[in-house]
């Protein structure tokens, strides 16, 4: 499979390493120094694009892939308020999109645990729930896309919480503490606290390899497909 890497930072390089080991070829690498190479002629040399760029450039990158009839795997976060518009464009152009706030298999299992626990905790009102996410200092969006997914799962199950915020606003708000430090790949913690005890679940990434492998697996999954997919279709 010929892959175009849109975003060639630390994550892009990790994806490249795994893709090559799985006998794929990298035919295009786009970073801040090669933005001029991101055009239809070059994109059509690829069978699929894997996009890990920035919240500021992701929408334009997705659109260029659609216009080039190139399936795209999107790992960038911070753009989901525009998801409906992107989904509409994908359908109109008969495109192919695989999107996820986190491509780690472990994180997606954590999503299932989080949803199940939230459903259990709904009837135990003595427990307040809050979250913490910790990432490296280079991450631009906050809270993380993964934290937003976790929070929305909780809001759908725990009726006493009405919305989430990165600031403390009272008992009906799910507080998400966001921390940026060092080179932390990603840690997400969900805490249920009561006067008598605490219940806590955590996912801690040790490196970027799990995210990169998930993105390559998603690219392999998309071969021959049209439409919109996410990690629930893969796992």
Pull the structure tokens for residue 110: 């954590």
Could you identify the residue written with the tokens 């295009």?
28
Residue 30: which H helix or E strand, with range?
strand 25-30
Euclidean distance between CA atoms 193 and 195, whole angstroms: 7
Q: Does residue 99 carry a catalytic annotation?
A: no
Q: Is the pLDDT of residue 208 over 90?
A: no
Residue with more model confidence, 138 or 155: 155
Mean pLDDT of 75-100: 95
Q: Does residue 188 carry a catalytic annotation?
A: no
* Catalytic residue from among 135, 161, 188, 203: 135
Q: Is the pLDDT of residue 96 over 90?
A: yes
pLDDT score of 235:
82
Mean pLDDT of 16-23: 97
pLDDT in tens, 163-175: 999 998 889 999 9
Mean pLDDT of 108-135: 97
Separate counts of helices (H) and strands (E) for the chain: 8, 11
The full 3-state SS of 150-167, as one line of letters, equals: HHHHHHHHCCCCCEEECC
Question: What are the distances in angstroms from CA 79 to CA 100, 137, 224?
Answer: 11, 19, 26
Q: Rounded mean pLDDT of the chain?
A: 95
* Catalytic residue from among 29, 89, 139, 157: 139
Question: Which domains does the chain show, CATH number per domain?
Answer: 2-103+209-234 (3.40.50.720), 105-204 (3.30.360.10)
| Burial class for 46, CB neighbours closer than 10 Å (0-12, 13-18, 19+) | buried
Euclidean distance between CA atoms 178 and 115, whole angstroms: 21
pLDDT score of 169:
87
pLDDT band at 140 (very low <50, low <70, confident <90, very high): confident
């Amino acid at each position: 499979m010929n892959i175009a890497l849109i975003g060639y930072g630390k994550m892009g390089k990790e994806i490249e390493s795994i893709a090559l080991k799985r006998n794929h070829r990298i035919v295009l690498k786009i970073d801040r120094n090669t933005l001029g190479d991101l055009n239809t002629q070059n994109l059509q040399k690829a069978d699929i694009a894997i996009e890990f760029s920035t919240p500021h450039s992701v929408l334009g990158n997705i659109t260029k892939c659609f216009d080039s009839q190139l399936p795209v795997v999107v790992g960038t976060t911070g753009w989901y308020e525009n998801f409906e518009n992107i989904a509409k464009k994908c359908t109109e152009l008969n495109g192919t999109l695989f999107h996820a706030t986190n491509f780690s298999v472990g994180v997606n299992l954590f999503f299932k645990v989080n949803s199940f626990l939230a459903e259990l905790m709904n009837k135990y009102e003595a427990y307040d729930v809050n979250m913490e996410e910790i990432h490296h200092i280079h991450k631009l969006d906050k809270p993380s896309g993964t934290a937003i997914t976790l929070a929305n799962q909780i809001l759908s199950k725990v009726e006493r919480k009405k919305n989430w915020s990165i600031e403390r606003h009272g008992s009906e708000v799910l507080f998400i503490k966001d921390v940026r430090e060092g080179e932390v790949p990603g840690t997400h913690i969900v805490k249920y606290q009561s006067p008598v005890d605490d219940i806590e679940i955590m996912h801690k990434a040790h490196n970027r390899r799990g995210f990169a492998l998930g993105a390559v697996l998603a690219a392999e999954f998309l071969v021959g497909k049209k439409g919109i997919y996410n990690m629930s279709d893969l796992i």
